[in-house]
Amino acid sequence: MNTNKKDLYIIDLLKKSIATGNPCLDLSYERLGDAGILLLSRMYDLSHLTQLNLSWNELTSKGVVALAQCGSLTNLTVLTLDANKIGDDGLHAIAESKALSSLQVLTLTKNNIGDSGALALIKSTKLSQLSILDLELNDIGQERLTKFPDGTANASLSRLNLRRNKMGNDTIIDWLQTGAFVPVKKLNLGWNKINDKGMVALAKSPMLSGVEELILDSNFIGNEGATAIAQSKHMESLAVLEMHDNKYNQTGANALMDLRIRNLVKKHLSGTELNLNGKQLENQGLKALGRSDLLAGVVTLSLRNNHFDYVGLEALSQSQNLSSLKSLNLMDNQILNKGAIVLAGAKVFSGLQKLNLENCGIMPAGILALAKSASLEQLREVTLNKNNIKDKGIQHLAASRNFSNLKILKVGGISISDQAVKALVLSEHLKNLVELSLSGNGITREGLNYLHDTHNLTTLKKIDLRRNKFAYEDCIFLSDSPRFKNLEVVRF
């Protein structure tokens, strides 16, 4: 394509952009070169643009200087310049540009950029709105700084990507001294040349106190570096730390997990209630949680859907800091019967009044363990929904004195029949039930008659009988029966 054809092509794209009012212009992979950018920036009004993509266009600093001087780009907020050959001179031009003062996102992957150009952008007084800077796959760290740039880092810069550069320990130390990381909340230093020395420097520096997400995968960090970052006093804001593919062993992994748990607890602890639902803690996370002294004073602990099993629960049961615990939610974790045995045998759970074991893979043997427990004697509310407990499991429960204080029992979807209902209503230990949920089972009119005729459940106020095997006349019976009418809530 000769120059005239290129010019005509650019003109055509610009006309379409202006005619449609489209504020986004994508000229990536067009190989415009510096000449094409000179034409674009000098000959046309680009004031309607807010996003411009010039990736893979064989640009050098000359073309970028022209772009930086284009007076009609004052509304541009997103500029993508990936895979060119801009270098430090081009970045200095952008950093000093008045025309690009509205930039919020600047992407410069693979552009032969060194420390000087990168820091010029970060400390630019002109780019006061820049919040995202992507400098992946450049030459940062290849040559050490000989002169530190003046000024402070741009306060608006919240996300900085320095992945796949050539940053070693000396580069990290130099950058810390420049204050380049001070405003950053999300920092990616993955796939560089950082080892323990660089990690120790990061851990000791208050410059990272605002970082919420730190990516350090695929470096050369060992136990010393992992432990340093885990014990840092300046990582209070850290919510995400990614360090896979490094050189530390289980000792370092444990230290990092302790850090993660510490930050999670501080973030999610509300008074005496700690909600860690869905945090993907797994067994290692439960082990770290058990080690944490931040559990002292926790009354309510919710660990739903964290992908741990009885191994993690056993580690938690060895905690020395759960003496205040009264409510425990283990829903959606496959602790199985072995987990129920752990619960039954651990003195640390002896103060439990509320226990949620919904969908935990528990069968009759697990219920038997709970029923025979020497410590679980204060339970007021138990949820066993969606376990394969069957009639046998309910019979174990009904025969146990451990459940004499029970006020609320939820046993929906546990594959029980009328025989289980019979065991419940005849139990001498379940007379204090206020709420009973039996939804999603195989109960028929026979079970309904047991509930209707019993003299035991005198304190019952709420019952849930939905999704059972009732005929139409059974529902009429439920509606008309004085026994059920006197309850506060009847669901069927």
**197-237: per-residue pLDDT in tens?**
999 999 999 999 999 999 999 999 999 999 999 999 998 88
**10-39: per-residue pLDDT in tens?**
777 777 777 777 899 999 998 989 988 998
Delimit the domains of the chain by residue range: 334-492
Specify the pLDDT at position 6.
63
Lookup result for tokens 């920092």: 187
Phi–psi pair at 220, nearest 5 degrees: -130, 40
Closest CA to 222 of 180, 169, 264, 261: 169
Return d(Cα 74, Cα 440) in angstroms, integer.
63
Superfamily of domain 334-492: Ribonuclease Inhibitor (3.80.10.10)
Percentage of the residues of the chain whose pLDDT score is greater than 90: 85
Closest CA to 36 of 4, 68, 61, 83: 4
Q: What number of helices (H) and strands (E) belong to the chain? A: 18, 19
Return d(Cα 287, Cα 229) in angstroms, integer.
19
Does 21 or 449 have the greater pLDDT score? 449
Task: Give the residue-averaged pLDDT of 437-448.
Answer: 95
- Three-state DSSP at 47 gives coil
- The overall longest dimension of the chain from CA atoms, in Å, is 97
Task: Give the residue-averaged pLDDT of 457-465.
Answer: 94
**DSSP label of 255:** H
Number of other residues whose CB lies within 10 A of the CB of residue 2: 6
Q: Is the pTM of this model over 0.85?
A: no
Q: Is the pLDDT of residue 1 over 50?
A: no
Q: Which residues pair with 38 in a beta bridge?
A: none
Provide the mean pLDDT of the chain: 94
For the chain, the distance separating the N- and C-terminal CA atoms, rounded to the nearest angstrom, is 76
Return d(Cα 115, Cα 134) in angstroms, integer.
14
Enumerate long-range contacts of 264-268, CB under 8 Å, 24 or more apart.
265/289, 265/292, 265/294, 265/295, 266/236, 266/294, 267/239
Which run of H or of E encompasses 490?
strand 489-491
**152-198: per-residue pLDDT in tens?**
999 999 999 999 999 999 999 999 999 999 999 999 999 999 999 99
Which residues fall within 8 angstroms of residue 73, CB to CB, at 6 or more apart? Answer: 41, 46, 47, 49, 52, 67, 99, 100
> Residues 94, 64: contact at Cβ < 8 Å?
yes
> In one letter, which amino acid is 44?
Y
Q: Please state the separation of Cα 36 from the chain's center in Å.
A: 44
